[in-house]
A and B are shown apart, each in its own frame.
Chain A
Amino acid sequence: MAAEPTRAPPPAAPEPLVAVEGLTFHRGPRPVFDSLDMTMAKGEITAVLGPSGAGKTTLLKLIGGELRPDGGRVLVGGKDVHRLSRSGLYTLRKRMGVLFQAGALFTDLDVYENVAFPLREHTRLSEETIRDVVLLKLEAVGLRNARGLWPRELSGGMARRVALARAIALDPEIVLYDEPLAGQDPISAGVLVTLIRQLNDALGLTSIVVTHDVEEISAIADRMHVLSGGKCIATGAPAEIRASGESSVRQFMQGLPDGPVAFHFPGPPVAEDLLGAAAGAPGGNPAAARA
């Protein structure tokens, strides 16, 4: 009897480093997430996309333990972020770097001291070693020669690159990027996107990027999640997301002004408002009336 031909085992699914399970979160009465599930695999760049107000930044704050969910859990490296003690949370955060939307550089420290800050706080390295690490991190983002500048002297793109150098100063496992490309000119956006990919590969990071810049992030992301209505409506590689037939995904990816996400804020039609006003009714605020 002939032996069965051996088949190569299928490629192992990437191990998830961050898992969001049944996450529910409200801002006041408004639900932001309604039983949200998603995973971010180790070593990959995962992009979280969605229109403004979809809760992308809120998701990062929940992953980082800045906010507490109303239900569900967030696991980072198998640990439930919101069940950790303060010291446990801080230990976990030492494994994370966060790039805030506007950089959040410390305005009373220059570029060098901003990058040195986490090293001074968490290590007992000598001054020479700190200098070497800071200069290497600044070299990685192309700003070694800007180390003497103050945050007020930096452009928006430069400030984000300095913040990126600070975020990776402690060689974290995970870097969270909050809208890294918002408000950037094409050159700065291109530089940042390239940096995210290069740093992820060179340092063996796991990157989670929340953004609504579809084009730029599609070029570097390994996997994408699209948020809408408090849920993840699509997950997959950039090409799979682009090919999606789901109307909400198509509207977002193609930038269509109207669709499942309405152009107009919900309320009575314009004719009713205008005719109501002509008939003597004072112009009211539909949002206030609903509240």
Chain B
Amino acid sequence: MLAWLEVVGRGAVFLVRVLGGLPGAAFRGRELLRQIGRVGAQSMVLILVSGAFVGMVLGLQGYNMLVRFGAEESLGLAVALALVRELGPVVSALLYAGRAGSALAAEIGLMKTTEQLAAMGMMAVDPLRRVIAPRFLAGVLSVPLLAAMFSAVGVLGGQFVGVGLLGVDDGAFWSQMQAGVDFRDDVANGIVKSVVFGVVVTWISLFQGHDAVPTSEGVSRATTRSVVWSSLAVFGLDFVLTSLMFND
């Protein structure tokens, strides 16, 4: 228990120091764009393909349920609410943790193992500001964008199955969605969730890499821990945020 508290304390100090480096990271435009490309743009294919399939499954399952009550015209609303409120932020954060978070943990862990971080420190350059902060900011900016793409493609996937394959009226699909999805309650809350997930997953991944035992096994364990802890944090925080946001 004491060891666990010690890790949490180190993680908190790490986060505070990284946050202190964010203004500098924001001014390193080229490096920031490079990192957004690595953690965000390179995750897009995974996010888009997954979003399309999740939307298609939602369309299929939603139709089968709604058609029993003759409410299949509400399919667009059901798919959109499920994606915007829950599946978009949660699944995209989980995919981000698996693809980009694990890569961040491994990269930072290897930089530590090969003494690149120590070398930077000995050159009077703070690695937390120079290396970690731009990656952190890139992750925090990328996850909400990835979640938005996931939801948008998911809606199109649901429309393809519901309207294209199962015969739901196209106008009803879109109009019900337009009438039922509230920007502040649904879309904005979904964005808030994905920002929180972006902060937490990127923090956990970078911290695990930075805190890794500098051996092959240590980096391997840190990479695994980054995915496990990120996933658990996403599920736990999703429950907390959902109960705060949608508790009417």
Q: Which residue numbers of A lie inside 8 Å of B, CB to CB?
A: 64, 66, 90-91, 93-94, 96, 98, 100-102, 104-107, 117-118, 121-122, 163, 166
By a CB distance below 8 angstroms, the chain A residues around B126 are 90
Measured between alpha carbons, how far is A118 from B114 in the docked complex, in Å?
Answer: 18
Measured between alpha carbons, how far is A117 from B125 in the docked complex, in Å?
Answer: 10
The SS class assigned to the B binding surface is helix
Assess whether B119 is in contact with A104, with CB atoms less than 8 Å apart. Answer: yes
User: Is residue B115 contacting chain A, with contact meaning CB distance below 8 A?
Assistant: yes
User: Is residue B5 contacting chain A, with contact meaning CB distance below 8 A?
Assistant: no
Assess whether A93 is in contact with B116, with CB atoms less than 8 Å apart. Answer: no
Assess whether A90 is in contact with B115, with CB atoms less than 8 Å apart. Answer: no
User: Is residue B16 contacting chain A, with contact meaning CB distance below 8 A?
Assistant: no
Name the CB-closest residue of A to B131: A106
Assess whether B130 is in contact with A66, with CB atoms less than 8 Å apart. Answer: no
A-B contact pairs, 11 of them (CB 8 A): A66-B118, A66-B122, A93-B121, A98-B119, A98-B123, A100-B115, A100-B119, A104-B118, A117-B123, A118-B123, A122-B124
Assess whether A93 is in contact with B115, with CB atoms less than 8 Å apart. Answer: no
By a CB distance below 8 angstroms, the chain B residues around A94 are 124
Measured between alpha carbons, how far is A100 from B126 in the docked complex, in Å?
Answer: 17
In the assembled complex, the CB of B157 is this many whole angstroms from the nearest CB of chain A, namely: 36
Measured between alpha carbons, how far is A98 from B124 in the docked complex, in Å?
Answer: 11
B side interface size, CB within 8 A: 14
Measured between alpha carbons, how far is A91 from B125 in the docked complex, in Å?
Answer: 10
By a CB distance below 8 angstroms, the chain A residues around B114 are 102, 104, 107
In the assembled complex, the CB of B245 is this many whole angstroms from the nearest CB of chain A, namely: 40
Measured between alpha carbons, how far is A101 from B115 in the docked complex, in Å?
Answer: 9
By a CB distance below 8 angstroms, the chain B residues around A96 are 122
Name the CB-closest residue of B to A122: B124
In the assembled complex, the CB of B134 is this many whole angstroms from the nearest CB of chain A, namely: 12
Assess whether B123 is in contact with A107, with CB atoms less than 8 Å apart. Answer: no
Set A102, A122, A166: member contacting B115, Cβ < 8 A: A102
By a CB distance below 8 angstroms, the chain A residues around B111 are 107
Q: Which residue numbers of B lie inside 8 Å of A, CB to CB?
A: 111, 114-116, 118-126, 130
Measured between alpha carbons, how far is A118 from B111 in the docked complex, in Å?
Answer: 17
Assess whether A121 is in contact with B125, with CB atoms less than 8 Å apart. Answer: yes
Q: Besides the contacts A93-B122, A106-B119, what 9 more A-B pairs have beta carbons closer than 8 Å?
A: A66-B118, A96-B122, A98-B123, A100-B119, A104-B118, A104-B119, A122-B123, A122-B124, A163-B119
Name the CB-closest residue of A to B110: A107
Assess whether B122 is in contact with A64, with CB atoms less than 8 Å apart. Answer: yes
Measured between alpha carbons, how far is A73 from B150 in the docked complex, in Å?
Answer: 57
By a CB distance below 8 angstroms, the chain A residues around B116 are 104-107
Question: Nearest 9 pairs between A and B by C-beta?
Answer: A104-B119, A90-B124, A104-B115, A93-B124, A98-B122, A94-B124, A118-B123, A100-B115, A121-B125
By a CB distance below 8 angstroms, the chain B residues around A90 are 124, 126
Assess whether B124 is in contact with A91, with CB atoms less than 8 Å apart. Answer: yes
By a CB distance below 8 angstroms, the chain B residues around A122 are 123-125
In the assembled complex, the CB of A207 is this many whole angstroms from the nearest CB of chain B, namely: 15
Measured between alpha carbons, how far is A104 from B114 in the docked complex, in Å?
Answer: 6
By a CB distance below 8 angstroms, the chain A residues around B124 are 90-91, 93-94, 121-122
By a CB distance below 8 angstroms, the chain A residues around B122 are 64, 66, 93, 96, 98
Assess whether B118 is in contact with A121, with CB atoms less than 8 Å apart. Answer: no
By a CB distance below 8 angstroms, the chain B residues around A93 are 121-124
By a CB distance below 8 angstroms, the chain B residues around A105 are 116
In the assembled complex, the CB of A166 is this many whole angstroms from the nearest CB of chain B, namely: 8
Measured between alpha carbons, how far is A66 from B120 in the docked complex, in Å?
Answer: 11
Measured between alpha carbons, how far is A101 from B114 in the docked complex, in Å?
Answer: 10
In the assembled complex, the CB of A170 is this many whole angstroms from the nearest CB of chain B, namely: 8
By a CB distance below 8 angstroms, the chain A residues around B121 are 66, 93
Measured between alpha carbons, how far is A255 from B37 in the docked complex, in Å?
Answer: 54
By a CB distance below 8 angstroms, the chain A residues around B125 are 117-118, 121-122
Measured between alpha carbons, how far is A105 from B111 in the docked complex, in Å?
Answer: 10
Set B115, B119, B123: member contacting A121, Cβ < 8 A: B123
Known contacts A93-B123, A118-B123; is-contact A100 B118 (Cβ 8 Å): yes
Measured between alpha carbons, how far is A106 from B127 in the docked complex, in Å?
Answer: 12
Measured between alpha carbons, how far is A106 from B130 in the docked complex, in Å?
Answer: 13
In the assembled complex, the CB of A101 is this many whole angstroms from the nearest CB of chain B, namely: 8
In the assembled complex, the CB of A269 is this many whole angstroms from the nearest CB of chain B, namely: 33
By a CB distance below 8 angstroms, the chain A residues around B130 are 121
In the assembled complex, the CB of A95 is this many whole angstroms from the nearest CB of chain B, namely: 9
